[in-house]
């Protein structure tokens, strides 16, 4: 739930700065996009003019999601860590919008250079110097796909130790939990105020 509250703080700060701005909001948990299957994946490397009827049907929702990205001046993503990685619903969205030749490895893509703010919340500590640093698969993955492949300008907000107060295995981390929580909200508000007018969240 921490990722939701931090993204909400970002969004409120943004809307306070841009009361007439537009937001495209997607709750991938409540309304998930389809996971990639063989037919949908095949639309990535087939010219749309040559799509079969099944590919046309599978490609339509991908195109809608991509057009949302192309419209946005900035993107906000809540990415809680589930079992060391992102939720499958977010993975499905990433898979749908990542198409080589359309959004990935395209020099003149309208998405290239778009700022994307990722609230990467996690119950433990996975930063440099921690015992679990090698298991950080949220920031590494999203950096590789959204920044390196798609060319977006990625910026992470990281609330961590979010389960310190509730997890019996983490009592020694309770004194350390408040600082990253406060910083995450501070970062969300400051970056929300500075973000561009049209945000896809």
185 is in an annotated binding site: no
123 is in an annotated binding site: yes
The CA distance from 167 to 39, in Å, is 42
152 is in an annotated binding site: no
Query: Are the CB atoms for 66 and 191 separated by under 8 Å?
Result: no
82 is in an annotated binding site: yes
Q: What is the 3-state secondary structure (H, E, C) of the chain?
A: CHHHHHHHHHHHHHHHHCCCCCEECCCCCCCCCCCCCHHHHHHHHCCHHHCCHHHHHHHHHHHHHHHHHHHCCEEEEECCCECCECCHHHHHHHHHHCCECCCECCCCCCCCCCEEEEECCCCCCCCCCCCCHHHCCCHHHHHHHHHHHCCCEEEEECCCCCCCCCCCCCHHHHHHHHHHHHHHHHHHHHHHHHCCCCEEC
Angle at 90 between CA 71 and CA 86, to 5 degrees: 135
81 is in an annotated binding site: yes
Q: Is 84 left (phi over 0), alpha (psi -120 to 50) or beta?
A: left
140 is in an annotated binding site: no
Annotated binding site for FMN: 81-84, 121-124
């Amino acid at each position: 739930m921490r990722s939701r509250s931090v993204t909400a703080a970002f969004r409120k700060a943004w809307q306070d700065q841009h009361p007439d701005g537009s937001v495209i909001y997607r709750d991938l948990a409540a309304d998930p996009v389809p996971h990639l299957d063989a037919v949908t994946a095949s639309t990535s490397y087939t010219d749309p003019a040559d799509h079969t009827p099944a590919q046309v049907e599978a490609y339509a929702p991908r195109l809608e999601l991509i057009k949302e990205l192309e419209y946005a001046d900035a993107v906000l993503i809540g990415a809680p860590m589930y079992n060391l990685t992102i939720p499958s619903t977010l993975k499905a969205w990433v898979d749908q919008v990542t198409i080589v030749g359309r959004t990935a490895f395209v020099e003149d893509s309208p998405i290239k250079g778009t700022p994307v703010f990722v609230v990467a919340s996690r119950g433990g500590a996975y930063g440099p110097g921690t015992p679990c640093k090698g298991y950080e698969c949220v920031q590494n993955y999203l950096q590789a796909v959204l920044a390196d492949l798609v060319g977006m300008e990625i910026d992470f907000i990281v609330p961590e130790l979010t389960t310190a107060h509730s997890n019996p295995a983490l009592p020694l981390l309770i004194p350390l939990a408040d600082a990253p929580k406060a910083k995450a909200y501070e970062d969300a508000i400051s970056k929300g105020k500075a973000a561009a007018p049209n945000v896809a969240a």
